[in-house]
Chain A
Amino acid sequence: MITVENLTKRYGPHPAVDDVSFHCEPGTVTGFLGPNGAGKSTTMRMICGLTAPTAGRATVSGRPYRELPNPGREVGVLLDASAQHAGRTGREALTLSAYTMGLDRREVAAKLDLVGLNAVAAKRRVRAYSLGMRQRLGLAQALLGDPRVLILDEPANGLDPEGIFWMRGLLRDFADRGGTVLLSSHLLREVEAVADRLVVIGGGRIVAQGDKNELLAGGGTVVRARDRAALRRALEVAGLSAADSSEGLLVQADAEAVGQAAADAGVALAELRPASGGGLEQLFLTLTAGESTKEAVR
């Protein structure tokens, strides 16, 4: 379980993270979404005690991270797959972590096997690893101490489609068995496929959070009729605002209300469905476009 309360980090006058609060329950995957520079990594570093917050606090399994006696056994952390000593072999990097946590050396081989790094890859120096292999090594490191919580920053970066699919299954399974996962990404599809809950951040502030399905349902309804003008009038009468889209009219209301409005006006519908396609992407862009533009011109 992860609890974040009013976390704030300022660098000079510029708030990188501004009053961020959310929590992650056991048994769920929380997707932490936002464009680059939105404050995802800073928030995660603050949760892990690597960056001191300006204000607010965060706890993991009920305690501030720095007070966990042996954090690796409680929380698996992968913040940057490239942060490995280039001159160590993959196996050696894990062995050092295993010794630090007081684990049996057999765990190293088991976790390397789990993430699909074979004996040849394990003996190579990290310098020679591709980004995808580094991500797998980082994931092995996070899983090494059999933690109950996983905190992963952009773990899908550099993985091939097969690797992404595999990781999705692994995280889903971990959560289904009672684990807590906090997973950041700017790859919306990746998060949409695996997360139960979403926390969307832009410009250091949380712009939306909640159940994934509830957030997605806010996308509106697509409705199409042969007589487009009549449909538009019917919606106006019902007090529903409609916008033109390539697929028909996009209405900010649920399908039931739109269907009723059309029926009341006697307009025959050709299509009526929840807006999809864009889905989370639409939400994500709407919520963060302004923020990231501000970010870019700052």
Chain B
Amino acid sequence: MTTTAPAAGAVAPRHHTPASRPSLLRLSGVELRKLVDTRAGRWLLITIGLIAAVVVTLQLIYAEEADQTFGSFFVPSLLPVGVLLPVLGILSITSEWSQRTALTTYALVPRRERVVTAKLVAVMVAALGSVLASLALAAVGTLVASATGGAGTWQLDGSLILNAVILQVTSVLMGAAFGLLLLNPPLAIVGYFLLPTVWGVLGEMVRPLRGPSEWLDTSKTMEPLFSSDALTGEQWGRIVVSLLVWMVLPLAAGLFRTLRREVS
């Protein structure tokens, strides 16, 4: 028996001054908390951290000693983390529907676009956090390398950090966009990973698609972000075009759908 005899205390409707609406900052804080307050969410974040740590460890063991630099620890950890971040984005949006907490969330904040904005802010903060974690782990790797005979040089281009931020923030937003559009965790996860892959394969196989694929396949357009070379105007253009299709479009359509959907 886990319910005690309820207190006889009464509940009186209090006449307070009309409460102000919750700020976006407050709502974002709530959404950040939701990312970590379940076992599933916590483990997803822990897994992301662990994978980055494993990548750094593997490099300490197998990379050439001359290549054991801060930059070469940092860059490879971005890719596996960038694969899992979208899952975080997807789950942040879709778990409200799969766990049916949308009923409470949207009863407390009926302006749904504010909740969606707060969720996007929260997952972007998580993406920034992942870049910081990658930097921290790369720093640990560099320290260990310099102690064990690796190069251990600390040089890192500022542009590389900026590229990493763009990479991780856009990938978490792409995931969130798919979540908003499909509103169902398995569907959104499968859709997110399958569609660009199918597109990539088609782009390779079907000759007329090869040209457009240079502009629309995010795995190709985002590739230059992994290097420290300054991006050309055309490379930026390709990134923007591919993000329009895989991020902005599903975000807009998903927002439209979420605002109208019946919550039950």
Q: Which residues of A does B touch, CB under 8 Å?
A: 41, 45, 48-52, 65-66, 68-74, 77, 79-80, 82-88, 92-93, 96-97, 99-102, 113-118, 120-121, 124, 132-133, 136, 141, 143, 145-149, 163, 166, 170, 173-174, 177-180
Contact = CB atoms under 8 A, between A and B. Distances in A.
A93 B2 CA distance: 17
Contacts of A178: 12-13
Contacts of A84: 99-101, 104
Top-7 shortest CB links A-B: A116-B6, A87-B38, A179-B13, A83-B100, A69-B21, A70-B19, A73-B19
B64 interface: no
Interface string B1-33: 011111101111111101111100011011001
Contacts of B14: 146, 148
A166 B37 CA distance: 32
B7 A100 contact: no
B3 A118 contact: yes
Contact of B3 (A45, A71, A85, A136): A136
Contacts of A124: 2
A38 B87 CA distance: 40
B11 A143 contact: yes
27 contacts: A50-B106, A51-B262, A68-B110, A74-B19, A82-B100, A83-B104, A84-B100, A87-B38, A87-B39, A96-B33, A96-B34, A96-B37, A100-B30, A100-B108, A114-B9, A117-B3, A118-B2, A133-B2, A133-B3, A141-B104, A145-B19, A166-B6, A173-B12, A174-B10, A177-B12, A177-B13, A179-B12
Given A85-B99, A136-B3, A173 B10 contact: yes
A251 B155 CA distance: 98
Given A71-B107, A102-B22, A113-B7, A45 B30 contact: no
Contacts of B54: none
Nearest to B9: A114
Contact of B11 (A82, A99, A118, A170): A170
| Interface SS of chain B | loop
Nearest to B14: A146
Given A48-B107, A50-B106, A124-B2, A86 B13 contact: no
A102 B19 contact: yes
B108 A65 contact: no
A45 B262 contact: yes
Given A148-B13, A170-B6, A173-B10, 7 more contacts: A52-B260, A52-B262, A71-B110, A87-B38, A92-B37, A101-B108, A118-B2
A174 B12 contact: yes
Contacts of A145: 19
